[in-house]
Amino acid sequence: MKPLVFFLPGQEDLAAKLTTHLDGEPGNVVTHSFPDGETYLRVASACRGREVVLLQSLDHPNKKILPLLLLGETLRDLGANRIRLVCPYLSYMRQDKQFQPGEGVTSRYFAKLVSTYFDGLLTMNPHLHRYHSLSEIYSIPSEAADAGPDLAKWIKSFIKNPVLIGPDGESEQWVANIAGKIQAPYRVAKKERWGDREVRVSMPDLTAFRDHHPVLIDDIISTGHTLIQAVAAIQEQGLEAPICLGIHALFAPGAEENLKRSGVQRVVTTNTIAHSTNGIDISETLARSLRNF
């Protein structure tokens, strides 16, 4: 039987694409926000015994998580057979250790919460830095799809003679992978961070690549400061303005404008989070990963 694909408002475009690639059936849920801010939900599709996929990217997670858990519980009460959460952007992955005394390791608490409500989790390029895999913190079956091949395909189609650049050590994992797929050279910078918007990016020597087209690649674009610093450091070495590729277009207020003002040539992101910079569709990759999951 075809899986039923549910989503909450805001995911319409990706949900339609994912449903098509999965050969699924769109689930119907009616939502309403009461004047006091509570959420009303009514599932209008018969889901007893059905395989359910619940799509929800968790950017701005605090306001999304409760309606999502309520929908998960409603589907379970209505007899859904297996409920898997497809979360193209998975939040709360960056607080993966206690950096200061008194802090909580919120990635663990968030994982515990999600693991209580769903039977499986599929996400895309989660921010795995100090954790090696999702299973270190998620107790349900979990899988991380990789947007790398989609990024590689985009670069191959649109950029001649690219040099790929990662803005920090964490980025090496996906930059090296993408470079290998398209036989392009790559380099990785070093980043120091003092605060949300205080970062310094030191580039390795790029002068041998002055005739290349620089492509900066990061997993998350949030305040944009990592990429802004990286763009400046690349241009200081006499290379042309880079193109910035991001997997998750979080874009904090003002980030897009600041990034565009930094002299970047173009910013292109995947549609794990709906945003005006989306130019790389990952829905087919997500569907393939879900089928193999």
- Active-site positions read 191
User: Looking at 21-29, 37-45, 118-126, 163-171, which segment touches ligand R5P (CB under 6 A)?
Assistant: 163-171
Taking the complex as a whole, the smallest distance from the CB of residue 190 to ligand R5P amounts, in Å, to 12
270 near ligand R5P (CB under 6 A):
no
Give the residue with the Cβ less far from ligand R5P, 59 or 219.
Answer: 219
Taking the complex as a whole, the smallest distance from the CB of residue 59 to ligand R5P amounts, in Å, to 12
User: Looking at 7-15, 77-85, 164-172, 236-244, which segment touches ligand R5P (CB under 6 A)?
Assistant: 164-172
Residues 233-262 that bind ligand R5P (CB under 6 A): none
Binding mask 198-237 for ligand R5P (x = CB under 6 A): -x------------------xxxxxxxxx-----------
Give the residue with the Cβ less far from ligand R5P, 204 or 238.
Answer: 204
What contacts 24+ positions apart, CB below 8 Å, involve 207-212? 207/237, 207/238, 209/163, 209/185, 209/239, 210/237, 210/238, 210/239, 211/161, 212/161, 212/162, 212/163, 212/185, 212/239
- Calpha distance 15→3 (Å, rounded): 13
Q: Among 59, 96, 143, 170, which residue interacts with ligand R5P (rule: CB under 6 A)?
A: 170
Taking the complex as a whole, the smallest distance from the CB of residue 229 to ligand R5P amounts, in Å, to 8
- Calpha distance 172→90 (Å, rounded): 20
Give the residue with the Cβ less far from ligand R5P, 126 or 224.
Answer: 224
Taking the complex as a whole, the smallest distance from the CB of residue 162 to ligand R5P amounts, in Å, to 20
For binding to ligand R5P (CB under 6 A), which residues are involved?
Answer: 167-168, 170, 199, 218-226
